[in-house]
Structure 1
């Protein structure tokens, strides 16, 4: 019987230790659950705010679409000019690409300069079909 008493004491100590660890784990689980609840509430608030923001953006887009539907298209000449402008921009991209990437010279620094029209002398304007220049008038 004497040997049973220390063994009984060991069991009782282990039982108390297990109960203590169980209580700690229960506390940790409860605090973790509380943290999850707080996170969930925060996520719900964020989701609701995002939903409201998206709804507002969609309404604004609808208003913009309605305004754009009511506007007339630009004049065909303006559209043609715009198309030609963008075509010239696309054609000049290769010339500028090397410069913008830092691999070459500025496109206007080409050693081969395009031919420019020579300046006309005042007397040669009549020969080219241009109207004569106005004569200077004396000041009053």
Structure 2
């Protein structure tokens, strides 16, 4: 009975070893595919960076507006986060003022055209 058990264990070990070899080969394939994808992405980023370097800088007034815009966005992020998580009021409403309701109804009809 011991010989039978030993043979069974050897067979299981061999089976495990084969599965590990298969997994290792698969991991190597996936690793190589990821490496190629990353290399392609890096090349694409480099090309994009090179194209952007060749462009002239935007007008200083535009840069100022953009900087102010992003500063404003960053200032309101905490209020929007609270609102979107359901933990606070809508950021556009002032603290003591109840929220305004949007007008409901149809848009005005266009004026009829006269035939010429």
Query: Could you state the TM-score of these two structures normalised by the residue count of structure 1?
Result: 0.55
Q: How does 1:25-40 map to 2 (within 5 A)?
A: 25-40=9-24
- Which residue pairs with 2:47 in the alignment? 63
User: Structure 1: which 4+ aligned runs deviate by more than 3 Å?
Assistant: 84-91, 94-102, 108-111
User: Between Structure 1 and Structure 2, whose CA radius of gyration is higher?
Assistant: 1
Gaps of 5+ in 2: 98-116
Q: How many residues align?
A: 94
Q: What is the distance in 1 between the residues matched to 2:77 and 2:25?
A: 55
- SS class of match (1:80): helix
Give me the CA root mean square deviation. 2.7
1:52 and 1:38 map into 2 onto residues whose CA distance is: 21
Change (3 A) 1:41 1:68: same
Gap runs ≥5 in structure 1: 1-16, 112-140
More helix by share: 1
Of 76, 81, 89, the residue aligned with 1:104 is: 89
Mapped contact 1:95–1:107 kept (Cα < 8 A)? no
Q: Equivalent residue of 1:107, what SS? A: coil
Partner-residue secondary structure (3-state), 2:28: helix
